[in-house]
Amino acid sequence: MATPGTVAFHTLGCKLNFAESSSIAQQFLKAGYQEVAFEESSDLYIINTCSVTDQADKKCRKAVRQAKQKNADASIVVIGCYAQLKPDEIASIPGVSLVLGAAEKFNILNHLDRPLHQLPTSIYAQPIKSLHEFVPSFSIEDRTRSFLKVQDGCDYKCSFCTIPQARGPSRSGSVASLVTAAQTLVEKGVQEIVLTGVNIGDYGKSYSGPSHGNFLQLIQQLDKISDPVRFRISSIEPNLCSDEIIDFVFSSNHFMPHFHMPLQSGDDQILAKMQRRYKTALYAERVKRIKQVYPASCIGVDVIAGFPGETELHFDNTYNFLHDLDISYLHVFTYSERNNTLAATFEHSVAFPERKERSDRLRMLSEKKKRAFYEQQIGRQEKVLVENDVREDFLLGWTSNYIRTAVPASMTRPNETVCVALKSITPELYAVGEPILVTA
């Protein structure tokens, strides 16, 4: 192994990537490396990539250029989904020293036994079908929030998605190991743990032993942790978000009243072309069920604009469906063609200006939905987990039901839970909370 020096990380994409980058960073620290900010000069740069959209690919190239500008002699290692999907393309980027696919990214230290920047670019990317191991990961950058990886890979075959090609089949950690990891985070002072994965509702599959149970059984065991901690589910497919899971979240000790469910389209014909495993009726029923059990719950939605064959009528169906749903916000994605996906072969591509216009309309709808949801909460008392995020004389944090809230800095401090009365909404779309009671 090379003599330890400085290492800098740059992570693109999802919460799962951030959890994995953090775990890899811990390996480097244990090996004697000093971690520095990506904006600083470093001996080694590690770029953990996403490849959900073409913008993610472009961001990877930009990060490589930025690293070389900071230190022309630095070694640059690219890992993550883009590295698995297009290793040769990444290897052709000037300055890249090493490309590691999904099976090798956690063995990165074993590849640092030579001066990488003085050698031709090396690629280690095995066929994804051979990947069956679950590697546990969690982020630990600050004590307020941590992302805990509970599941990886996906067995779904959505026609627009490259993630199964980049991360392999669905697999999970054992309940016992994940409870232990969560307990470790709590003991380190973490106040909120976000459960992450590619398809966490599919939790339970193992390729090295018996089944690990199911997602409901996992969250039931996590909820038995006696210490004060908040759990949040990052995202769950609507067809896997069962009544039992919904009921448990709202009756639990630690789980927050917040669901994020990908929809992707509000038109059943487009959902069928996307090869999603539900129709709009099921999605609407899930939203209705959540709101019946806990009316103040937050519901987030993923939606794609401009999928091949999406006519103006299809889009209007999506817009109207979302307009009428009792949801809180949208994550809007403009469709982009991905190599080796079925959707990339579909006819009747939507023109890029039209994709953008539809995305803009959905984002405007999201702002209206979020403001309406926030305004519904005025007068409620909520517990806010305060972060180290300062806005003038306020610190920002999140309520249990995911409302961004400003609390007077003179009356609280970061990583503290504060009970507040929600008084008003700012033009920047924060709720303003007046502290009532501070709890440890």
| Neighbour tally for 312: CB within 10 Å | 10
CATH class, domain 381-439, is mainly beta
pLDDT digits (tens, 9 = 90+) for 93-152: 999 999 999 889 999 998 887 666 666 788 888 878 778 889 889 988 767 899 999 999
The C-alpha atoms of residue 419 and residue 404 are separated, in whole angstroms, by 14
Among 203-217, 222-236, 267-281, 305-319, the least confident range: 203-217
Sequence-ordered list of residues with C-beta below 8 angstroms from that of 155, at least 6 positions apart, any chain:
164, 169, 170, 199, 202, 205
Query: 440 pLDDT band (50/70/90 cuts)?
Result: very low
pLDDT value at residue 437: 60
Partners of 407 in the β-ladder = 395
The C-alpha atoms of residue 151 and residue 171 are separated, in whole angstroms, by 6
Domains 6-126 and 258-376 share a fold: no
pLDDT at 216 > cutoff 90? yes
- Taking residues 68-89, report their average pLDDT: 91
Question: How big is the chain, counted in residues?
Answer: 440
With CA atoms as reference, report the closest residue to 125 among 142, 104, 155: 104
Burial tier of 340 (Cβ tally within 10 Å: 0-12, 13-18, 19+): exposed
Which position has the token pair 């073409």?
Answer: 54
Per-domain boundaries in the chain: 6-126, 132-256, 258-376, 381-439
pLDDT at 361 > cutoff 70? yes
What is 26-70 written as a DSSP string?
HHHHHTT-EE--TTS--SEEEEEE--SSHHHHHHHHHHHHHHHHH
Backbone Cα Rg of the chain: 22
pLDDT value at residue 54: 66
The correct answer on CATH 3.30.750.200 for the domain covering 258-376 is yes
pLDDT value at residue 205: 82
- Taking residues 256-268, report their average pLDDT: 98
pLDDT at 439 > cutoff 60? no
Exposure string over 184-193, b if 16+ CB within 10 A, otherwise e: ebbeeebbbb
State which fold the 132-256 domain adopts. Answer: Transcription Regulator spoIIAA (3.30.750)
Model pTM score: 0.91
**CATH number among 3.30.1180.20, 3.40.50.1860, 1.20.58.480, 3.40.50.12160, domain 6-126:** 3.40.50.12160
pLDDT value at residue 117: 60
Q: Assign 3-class secondary structure to 160-194.
A: CCCHHHHHCCCEECCHHHHHHHHHHHHHCCCCEEE
Average pLDDT, the chain: 92
- Taking residues 359-371, report their average pLDDT: 98
Q: When comparing pLDDT for 167 and 120, which is higher?
A: 167
For the packed helices 312-324 and 352-376, what is the interaxial angle rounded to 10 degrees?
A: 10
Reading the block at residue 284, the tokens are: 């609407």
The C-alpha atoms of residue 105 and residue 32 are separated, in whole angstroms, by 19
